Amino acid sequence: MSRRLVIGTRGSPLALWQAEWAKATMQRPLSGVEVDLKIIRTSGDRDQTTPLGQLGGRGVFTKELSRALLAGEIDLAVHSLKDLPTDLPEGLALGAVSPREDPRDALIARAATSFEALPQGARIGTGSLRRRALLLHGRPDLRMEDLRGNLDTRLRKLETEGLDAIVLAVAGLSRMGWAGRITERLPFSVCLPDAGQGAIGIEVRADDAEALQAVSVLNDGDTHCSVTAERALLKALGGGCQVPIGAWGRVEDGFLKLDAVVASVDGKRVIRDCSEGTREAPEEIGKGLAERLLKAGAREILRGG
């Protein structure tokens, strides 16, 4: 392959880490191939104050990259997969999914040693409706504060805004070398992660055979299977950043297992269920579990009831 490949990425330190990982991993087997990075600013980067749930859903960190891909300005886009909408623009495809980092959420506290040890009425910073709802379900006494910005910005706000704790993804902290800041990796029983959390998604043009072949070295089969089920569930529920939905898929002993939760924004109502089946049918497992959640009461929650 003699083609030059251009990777589109956001400009945050974490996004650049992910893009550099993709570049280095592709270049090893594709000796002689030139791979460059192009930074593209997204609407989510430009607006660092509006709560994510009000900005327009999952595409706020990805739609400009997708447009550049369709326009031929870049050859692939590297995303935190949890930010990528389940419905991709026509002509684009999810070409690869990275091996998954720990998908859990991380509590970073100023003084407390665990989630349960947080003081009564503690102020918790998070920009995620899902985290807000699930943490309030476990601790209705907590006071949730909106938190935006890059990882380093949010870590600083823990001190500068007088918060008792903040909640971030373990994956981002680990990739940036900040895992030592984690007070507690929140158990799945407390906080199921966002669909795709911990995985890097590589978006390409569906008809670009060379790019698809190049990114295949980035793909991890078990992770791809797991997040396919999670994203199928999310799509079947019609959810995005505006609705608290958590999903955790994993391949164990050759089977695909999927846990999911739908919660009201205030955390008072939570519908949770799990499913498992053959790893060859991830979409069916995701859709089937979504249907069970809807029948159990999730439909009313999703409608705002």
Domain co-membership, 68 together with 113: no
| 230 within some domain | yes
| 194 within some domain | no
Active site residue 220: no
Per-residue pLDDT, 85:
92
How far is it, in rounded angstroms, from Cα 234 to Cα 245?
A: 8
Domain co-membership, 214 together with 149: no
Residue 283 corresponds to which tokens in the numbers above? 């979409």
Domain co-membership, 52 together with 71: yes
Name the active-site residue from 45, 47, 75, 83: 83
Domain co-membership, 140 together with 204: no
| 190 within some domain | no
Per-residue pLDDT, 60:
73
| 299 within some domain | yes
Place of tokens 């907590």: 142
Residue 13 corresponds to which tokens in the numbers above? 């330190």
Place of tokens 């506290």: 109
Q: Which domain holds residue 260?
A: 221-305
| 192 within some domain | no
Domain co-membership, 78 together with 212: yes
Domain co-membership, 147 together with 203: no
How far is it, in rounded angstroms, from Cα 164 to Cα 189?
A: 22
CATH number at residue 271: 3.30.160.40
| 191 within some domain | no
CATH number at residue 33: 3.40.190.10
Domain co-membership, 70 together with 207: yes
Domain co-membership, 119 together with 77: no
Domain count, the chain: 3
**How does pLDDT run across 198-229, given as a tens digit for each residue?**
999 999 999 999 999 999 999 999 999 999 99
Estimate to the nearest angstrom the gap between the alpha carbon of 128 and the chain centroid. Answer: 11
How far is it, in rounded angstroms, from Cα 49 to Cα 52?
A: 9
Domain co-membership, 86 together with 15: yes
Domain co-membership, 226 together with 208: no
Length of the chain: 305
Domain co-membership, 155 together with 41: no
The residues of the chain scoring below 50 in pLDDT are none
Domain co-membership, 126 together with 173: yes
**How does pLDDT run across 34-56, given as a tens digit for each residue?**
899 999 987 666 555 555 555 55
